[in-house]
């Protein structure tokens, strides 16, 4: 599958089958994150793969979105050096982890798996469940599993609404 096909076909999945994810597929998803670009190639990140059912239950409560617990895996993307800021003023860790998580999500789709990017959660509760140090930031969370739904595409703005050339 080419990248644009994956981008067009991928959907946020909120219903998952009760079916385990094969280790080889999980490793391909994680490899996509490992290979993603990061500012100055620092790779200041940690990806927590949550498989244990009790930990997934507690994490789902901390997240506050019950559908997350349906997936057999939850991946938590963390920035390990949140103090770094790029010259343009953006925190490195948020940009780097956004790229890495997007790469994982696209590879998951390629593997026939579903994901749902979560940015709404109680970070302190998530850290408490997973033993994440105070100095580390949780940037994104995604359930990972086999989809049990096929959501329709969401509307997107036309290019001429979001693109300009040479000036704003």
The DSSP code sequence of 77-137 is EEES-TT-B-TTS-BHHHHHHHHHHHHHHHHHHHTT-EE--B--S-HHHHHHHHT--TTSE
| Local structure of residue 142 (DSSP, 8 states) | E
pLDDT of res. 121 = 96
Predicted confidence (pLDDT) per residue in 151-167, tens digit: 999 999 999 999 999 99
pLDDT at 60 over 90: yes
Predicted confidence (pLDDT) per residue in 119-139, tens digit: 999 999 999 999 999 999 999
* Domains within the chain, CATH numbers bracketed: 3-148 (3.40.109.10)
Confidence of residue 1 (pLDDT cuts 50, 70, 90): confident
Dihedral sign, Cα of residue 18, residue 20, residue 106, residue 111: negative
Predicted confidence (pLDDT) per residue in 67-122, tens digit: 999 999 999 999 999 999 999 999 999 999 999 999 999 999 999 999 999 999 99
């Amino acid at each position: 599958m080419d990248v644009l096909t994956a981008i067009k076909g991928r959907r946020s999945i909120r219903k998952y089958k009760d079916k385990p994810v094969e280790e080889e597929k999980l490793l391909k998803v994680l490899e996509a994150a490992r290979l993603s670009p990061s500012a100055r190639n620092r790779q200041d990140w940690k990806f927590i793969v949550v498989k244990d059912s009790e930990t997934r239950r507690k994490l789902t409560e901390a997240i506050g979105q019950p559908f997350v617990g349906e997936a057999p895996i939850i991946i938590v993307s963390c920035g390990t050096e949140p103090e770094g800021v790029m010259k343009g003023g953006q925190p490195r860790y948020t940009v780097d982890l956004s790229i890495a998580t997007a790469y994982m999500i696209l590879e998951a789709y390629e593997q026939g798996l579903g994901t749902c990017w979560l940015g709404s959660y109680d970070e302190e509760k998530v850290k408490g469940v997973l033993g994440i140090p105070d100095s580390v930031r949780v940037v994104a969370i995604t359930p990972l599993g086999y989809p049990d739904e096929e959501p329709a595409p969401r509307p997107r703005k036309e290019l001429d609404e979001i693109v300009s050339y040479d000036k704003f």
